[in-house]
Amino acid sequence: MASSSSLHLLVAVVLLLSTPSSAAHRRHPHAHHHKHKANVTSPSTPIHQACRAALSPDVCESVLSQLSISLPPDPSGSDVALAALSAASRGHQTARSNAQSILDAAGSDRNRSTAARNCLELLSLSDHRISAAIKALPAGALADSRTFSGAAELYQYACRAGLTKVNDTQIVVDAMAFLERLTNLTTSATAMLAALQRYGPDTSRWGPPQTERDGYWPDAAAAGSGSGGGKARKSFPRPGAPADATVCKGSECRYRSVQAAVDAAPENSTRPFVIHIKEGVYEETVRVPFEKTNLVFFGDGMGKTVITGSLSADMVGVSTYNTATVGEDHNSRLFLSPFSRAKVRDVSFNMS
Ligand SMILES: *[C@@H]1O[C@H](CO)[C@@H](O)[C@H](O)[C@H]1NC(C)=O
Ligand SMILES: *[C@@H]1O[C@H](CO)[C@@H](O)[C@H](O)[C@H]1NC(C)=O
Ligand SMILES: *[C@@H]1O[C@H](CO)[C@@H](O)[C@H](O)[C@H]1NC(C)=O
Ligand SMILES: *[C@@H]1O[C@H](CO)[C@@H](O)[C@H](O)[C@H]1NC(C)=O
Ligand SMILES: *[C@@H]1O[C@H](CO)[C@@H](O)[C@H](O)[C@H]1NC(C)=O
């Protein structure tokens, strides 16, 4: 996992998106297939197969098999992913009550109470996204579901990162261990959603995650998996597309900070809102509210457009959810979270 010291993050595509409204009326692409595909010779088999989509199949299998997950007979990949998300959702109750116990035991230790309060808030944000992922999945909005699940991971990670600063009591150590399992579970769910998107619901066709580094671009995968894409996805802007907002330090730009451009973006947008962040170093932490849908960030390239954010803006660890947070996705690429429903390309993040 990432340490909080000076990370230089090279970010390509972080999270996938499509518009919730356009996705809502796409049918589940493969719903008619799953009757005769899954191997149900033993209850662990569907999980075993689905976990092949994870970067660490063993971790995925171990985390999932420790849970009482109920799967329908002959489960599709979608069923397993949904079960993983549902288990993650239930896990938030425990994670939150752990954080509450830390807060209750904090006494006058402000570092401890800050870390616990941040966790309560971050976990609530995470839970919100898991719920959104669960809602999007049966509607066939796989890209949305994956985006939400990925965002949830990062909020969980941020909570855990804050706790590492006050991890000198057993109650905190236990809370962190639980969070690690929860994050591993969520990461597994995200990987399954990616596989679902790429290979369809037949888990026997699932394989390890791929990234755009392998030439994998989600639009192509979505089209290839037979979901038919959709107008919103096909029109996803590529680097160089006309920007809705341009950010730079000079007077030629309307926005001088990334946050200002984010603030100017419409809420609940069903079409992409492109923010071009010109070459420069932006010392800010950016918060993208949940309602700012479909933001797309393009920089001028790795090492040219650099956003720095402090992980210790307040007093202990990750202080607030509007502090930029970092995490590690299921492909082990470091990436950042503030753009929780956004796509990011060609921007470096440098956080300390
Ligand atoms: C199911 O999986 C098991 C173990 O991988 C294998 O031995 C068995 O032949 C499979 N059954 C079917 C029907 O594919
Ligand atoms: C709280 O955190 C600050 C900064 O990390 C540190 O200097 C201080 O000693 C901590 N206080 C306690 C009570 O641990
Ligand atoms: C507590 O956090 C420190 C870093 O702040 C880390 O080195 C240590 O391994 C952590 N301990 C546990 C039990 O997580
Ligand atoms: C969580 O995942 C990490 C990285 O894959 C692994 O090293 C760790 O053992 C896992 N922990 C648990 C409790 O599953
Ligand atoms: C965006 O949607 C949320 C509910 O999802 C709603 O509360 C909010 O008012 C909407 N904002 C606008 C500007 O329509």
CA distance 17 to 148: 9
Q: From atom 7 of ligand 2, which residue's Cα is the shortest distance away? A: 315
The residues, any chain, with a CB within 8 Å of residue 4's CB and separated by 6 or more, are 161, 164, 311, 312, 317, 351, 352
Same domain, 219 and 259: no
pLDDT (mean) for 53-79: 89
The predicted pLDDT at position 178 comes to 96
- Region 250-263 average pLDDT: 91
Q: Which of 159, 191, 223 is the last residue of a domain?
A: 223
Residues 204 and 327 reside in one and the same domain = no
d(CA 344, CA 308): 15
Nearest C-alpha neighbor of 242 from the set 270, 271, 263 = 271
pLDDT, average across residues 302-317: 50
Q: Which of 51, 55, 59, 153 to mutate to test the pocket of ligand 4 (most atoms within 8 A of CB)?
A: 59
Q: Are residues 117 and 214 in the same domain?
A: yes
- Domain encompassing residue 46: 2-223
Tally of residues, the chain = 352
DSSP label at residue 154: H
Pocket test for ligand 5, best of 148, 263, 268, 269 (most atoms within 8 A of CB): 268
Same domain for 66 and 93, yes or no, is yes
CA-closest candidate to residue 249, choices 222, 211, 272, 282: 282
- Residue ending a domain, choose from 223, 245, 273: 223
End-to-end CA distance of the chain: 15
Query: Any idea what the CATH number is for the domain that residue 108 is in?
Result: 1.20.140.40
For ligand 5, atom 13, name the residue with the nearest CA: 267
Residue 249: count other Cβ atoms within 10 Å of its Cβ.
13
C-alpha torsion sign, points 211, 217, 218, 223 = negative
The sheet with strand 280-283 has its strands ordered as: 7-11, 347-351, 305-309, 280-283
pLDDT digits (tens, 9 = 90+) for 69-119: 888 888 999 999 999 999 999 999 999 999 999 999 999 998 899 889 888
Tokens of 135: 């809602």
- 54 and 32 share one domain: yes
Looking at 174, 202, 223, the residue that finishes a domain is 223
- Is residue 196 located within the same domain as residue 255? no
Residue listed under structure tokens 């969980």 = 156
Match 């990750």 to its residue by tokens.
318
Whether 164 lines ligand 3, by a CB cut-off of 6 Å, is: yes
- CA dihedral of 241, 348, 352, 181, whole degrees rounded to 10: 80
How far does Cα 222 stand from its chain's mean position? 18
237 and 311 part of one domain: yes
- Report the C-alpha gap between 77 and 67 in whole angstroms: 17
Helix axes 77-105, 110-136, angle to 10 degrees: 160
Using CA of residue 144, residue 146, residue 152, residue 154, what is the dihedral sign? Answer: negative
- The number of distinct structural domains making up the chain is 2
In angstroms, the CA 78 to CA 120 distance is 30
Kindly state whether residues 202 and 80 are assigned to the same domain: yes
**pTM over 0.85, yes/no:** no
Q: Which protein residue has the closest C-alpha to ligand 4 atom 12?
A: 181
pLDDT of residue 258: 85
User: Are 120 and 196 contained in the same domain?
Assistant: yes
97, 127: one domain: yes
CATH number at residue 287: 2.160.20.10
